[in-house]
Amino acid sequence: MVSKKKKKYSSGEGAQFMTRKAALKKLQLSLKDFRRICILKGIYPREPRNRKRAQKGAGGIKTLYHTKDIKFLLHEPIIWKLRDLKVFQQKIRKARATRQFGQMRKYLRDYPSINIDHIVKERYPTFVDALRDLDDCLTLCFLFSTFPSIKKVPRDQSLLCRRLSVEFMHAVIAAKALRKVFISIKGYYYQAEFEGQTITWIVPHHFSFQPQSKDEVDFKIMSTFVEFYTMMLGFVNFKLFHSLNLVYPPQLTAGFTPETDKDLVDEHAYVAERIAALNISVAKIAGSNEVEELPEIDIFQTEDGDPQKLEEAKLEVEKVKNLKTMFKGLKFFLNREVPREPLVFIIRCFGGEVSWDKDHFVGATFDESDESIAYQIVDRPSMDKQYLSRYYVQPQWVFDSVNARTLLPINKYLMGAVLPPHLSPFVDKIKDQVYMPPEERALKDPNFKPLDDEPSGSDIEEASDEDAEEKEEDSSEEDDEKALTRQYQQEVAEDSTSEDEDVKDDLDPEKKKLAKEKKKAMAVSTGVTHKENPYQKEIEDKQAFRLREKLVRKKHRNLYKSMKAGQEQRKKEIWLLRKKRRLHDEKVKEEKKAEKRKQKMQALEATS
């Protein structure tokens, strides 16, 4: 019996991958609909090991998908909805062309809508899975909440993002789940913790939207992502509010309803409405109790039996407990020049009360003249009217206090003071190669001194005095050592002579000779210092390291190479950051020198 010849590329990578053109043909979809369904279902192009085999011998670089993923899409109900949409669009187009406007209105009224609830449940079977994948969702929703009505982004979508983002912020406030904050050029970084999952997102700085001159960003694709993320965030908010015994949906201010959205033409009025909504507590479910605090940590015996890890966990729980009530019972008043939204969100997350000038913005809860105000946040060098019953601090004090998990001393953050460096709390402690700026190293190590700093005359004199003292100490130590060795040798010699006299009569001349030789061999002599050549030692270490690299097994060699490549990449990034910092410091020094020269010239001109 002759066996049937197997076709080429019918197995292996040739059968595992499919080009985008073949996928469109199999699904009978347009490129636009195919992109949309892939974004909603979470299907992305794949990189094969052998591109030539995966492309069935074709040259060039093509977009490839797993064949199983495309077959998986064949059973998706949304594909039939997309086909229905296509049919309705053709009918509407035909009715408009034939001027049958009654029929066109009927088609628009019966236009089918796409429901993607089942896709959210399919991609995130449990609530923890959704929380784990919430970072990009929140970042994109907060970004779209700042967009006005533009061509590729529907107005209803940006309005929905505004409402959902404010609802999530209310959930964070109610749960006191905020852990870290940071201000950067990109915006405000926040990190919250729900059910053991850390969620990090970015809220952009609020600037007036400027449309792009070129189509560098595809807003249509971003809008498709937001379509899925809004549905996902709605599910998450619903679950969070019910776990916190809060009524969902919350009754927010009038600025979040589609009817009154047309009245808020001014963007500043919308921002004021959103901040006012953050300053009001949401309603609780009738008859519900307060959310219980974290229970006491149970003591279990760990596998390695390390009590240090258990102590660190207890300490962390205690710090988080103190952080949640850090601003409890304190009242804050915000001046009109400070960024209100992040400060209101942060202060309310830790139990504080906030207000501002009611003549400028809506939602104020108490006046500036209230004597119970503990802190007033200002961002100006001086103020005409000040109250003795409160502290006037700059906004950075709030952010740094949250990261330090305690109320920091205010002497460095007073009005008009030069602020300390604002360091990022998002540092990975597990990584072995991390760039640490000089300010952070100075805070951790008080004896640290940057290498680039030029020492002044007093520093040079102090350094020379210290060197002289060190040399004197070294010479005195050497003299003491020499005296001790001499004394020890004398004692050994005396002991040996006394022993010789005792046994002189009992031993033969040959035995005496052997005993003297043994004693000489056993005598202690002064040691000679051996100086190592550091260059030679470095060469030997490198050679030994290369030999150890050759001992790596073949199956682990690729993993080892990728680890080494990652180390080199991190080393390069650290080098670039240091270079950037050095250039910045040199520029600042030059500016200071130029300013001093200018002042000297002005002083000389004034005296002349």
Domain co-membership, 421 together with 378: yes
What is the Cα–Cα distance from 219 to 226, expressed in whole angstroms? 10
- Above 50 in pLDDT, residue 473? no
Domain co-membership, 183 together with 53: no
What is the Cα–Cα distance from 415 to 81, expressed in whole angstroms? 61
CATH number of the domain within which 345 lies: 3.40.50.10190
Q: Is 9 left (phi over 0), alpha (psi -120 to 50) or beta?
A: left
Domain contains 193: yes
Cα 19 from chain centre: 36
Which pTM does this prediction carry? 0.75
Domain contains 165: yes
Give how far Cα 406 sits from Cα of 397, 420, 440, 444, 505, Å: 11, 16, 18, 17, 84
Return the pLDDT at 82: 86
Sign of torsion, CA 327 328 333 337?
positive
Number of H helices, E strands in the chain: 21, 9
What is the Cα–Cα distance from 167 to 253, expressed in whole angstroms? 12
What is the Cα–Cα distance from 550 to 563, expressed in whole angstroms? 15
What does the pLDDT look like over 37-77, one tens digit per residue? 999 999 999 999 888 888 888 888 899 999 999 999 998 88
Domain co-membership, 60 together with 84: yes
Identify residue 119 by its one-letter amino acid code.
I
- Above 90 in pLDDT, residue 141? yes
Domain contains 603: yes
Mean pLDDT calculated for residue range 256-279: 62
pLDDT band at 590 (very low <50, low <70, confident <90, very high): very high
Return the pLDDT at 371: 86
What is the Cα–Cα distance from 182 to 404, expressed in whole angstroms? 12
- Among 392, 409, 426, the domain-final residue is 426
Secondary structure element (H or E) that encloses residue 520, with its range:
helix 509-522
- Above 50 in pLDDT, residue 16? yes
Domain co-membership, 174 together with 255: yes
**String of b and e for 321-351 (b: at least 16 CB within 10 Å)?**
eebbebbeebbbbbbeebbbbbbbbbbbbbe
Cβ-based burial of 177 (10 A; exposed 0-12, middle 13-18, buried ≥19): buried
Return the pLDDT at 312: 78
- Above 80 in pLDDT, residue 482? no
pLDDT band at 324 (very low <50, low <70, confident <90, very high): confident
Give the number of other CB atoms < 10 A from CB of residue 445.
9
What is the Cα–Cα distance from 359 to 376, expressed in whole angstroms? 17
Mean pLDDT calculated for residue range 512-519: 80
Domain contains 484: no
Domain contains 520: no
- Above 50 in pLDDT, residue 468? no
Return the pLDDT at 389: 87
Domain co-membership, 248 together with 161: yes
Return the pLDDT at 381: 87
Domain that holds residue 160: 117-207+218-278
Domain co-membership, 235 together with 349: no
- Above 60 in pLDDT, residue 507? no
What is the Cα–Cα distance from 92 to 84, expressed in whole angstroms? 12
- Among 74, 109, 144, the domain-final residue is 109
Least confident of 231-235, 317-321, 578-582: 317-321
**Start-to-end Cα distance in the chain:** 115
Domain co-membership, 181 together with 34: no
Domain contains 102: yes
Return the pLDDT at 458: 38
- Above 80 in pLDDT, residue 85? yes
Mean pLDDT calculated for residue range 92-112: 90
- Above 80 in pLDDT, residue 588? yes
What does the pLDDT look like over 226-250, one tens digit per residue? 999 999 999 999 999 999 888 888 8
What is the Cα–Cα distance from 63 to 214, expressed in whole angstroms? 26
Domain co-membership, 105 together with 150: no
Domain contains 95: yes
- Above 80 in pLDDT, residue 493? no
Return the pLDDT at 293: 52
* Half-sphere exposure in the Cβ direction for 334 (13 Å, CA): 29
Map residue 5 onto helix, strand or coil. Answer: coil
Give the count of domains, the chain: 4
Mean pLDDT calculated for residue range 361-389: 86
pLDDT band at 219 (very low <50, low <70, confident <90, very high): confident
Return the pLDDT at 132: 93
**CA nearest to 408, candidates 371, 419, 244:** 419
Task: Please answer whether residues 409 and 390 qualify as being in contact, where contact means their C-beta atoms are separated by less than 8 angstroms.
Answer: no
Secondary structure element (H or E) that encloses residue 334, with its range:
strand 331-334
Domain co-membership, 250 together with 330: no
The angle formed by the CA atoms of residues 218, 221 and 227, to the nearest 5 degrees, is 140
Identify residue 430 by its one-letter amino acid code.
I
Going along 349-507, which residue ranges are E strands? 353-356, 375-377, 391-393
What does the pLDDT look like over 27-45, one tens digit per residue? 999 999 999 999 999 999 9
What is the Cα–Cα distance from 442 to 449, expressed in whole angstroms? 7
Domain co-membership, 193 together with 229: yes
Domain co-membership, 125 together with 270: yes
Give how far Cα 348 sits from Cα of 328, 535, 569, Å: 9, 59, 41
Task: Please answer whether residues 159 and 256 qualify as being in contact, where contact means their C-beta atoms are separated by less than 8 angstroms.
Answer: yes
Best-predicted range by mean pLDDT (312-321, 375-384, 494-503): 375-384
Q: Show the tokens assigned to 3.
A: 């066996």
- Among 90, 109, 128, the domain-final residue is 109
- Above 50 in pLDDT, residue 346? yes
What does the pLDDT look like over 166-213, one tens digit per residue? 999 999 999 999 999 999 999 999 999 998 899 999 999 887 767 666
Q: Show the tokens assigned to 448.
A: 């640290």
Q: Show the tokens assigned to 515.
A: 């005993």
Domain co-membership, 144 together with 262: yes
Going along 396-497, which residue ranges are E strands? none
Domain contains 156: yes
Return the pLDDT at 239: 93
pLDDT band at 476 (very low <50, low <70, confident <90, very high): low
User: 202 forms bridges with which residues in the sheet?
Assistant: 189
Q: What is the mean pLDDT of the chain?
A: 81
Return the pLDDT at 485: 63
Q: Show the tokens assigned to 383.
A: 């103020």
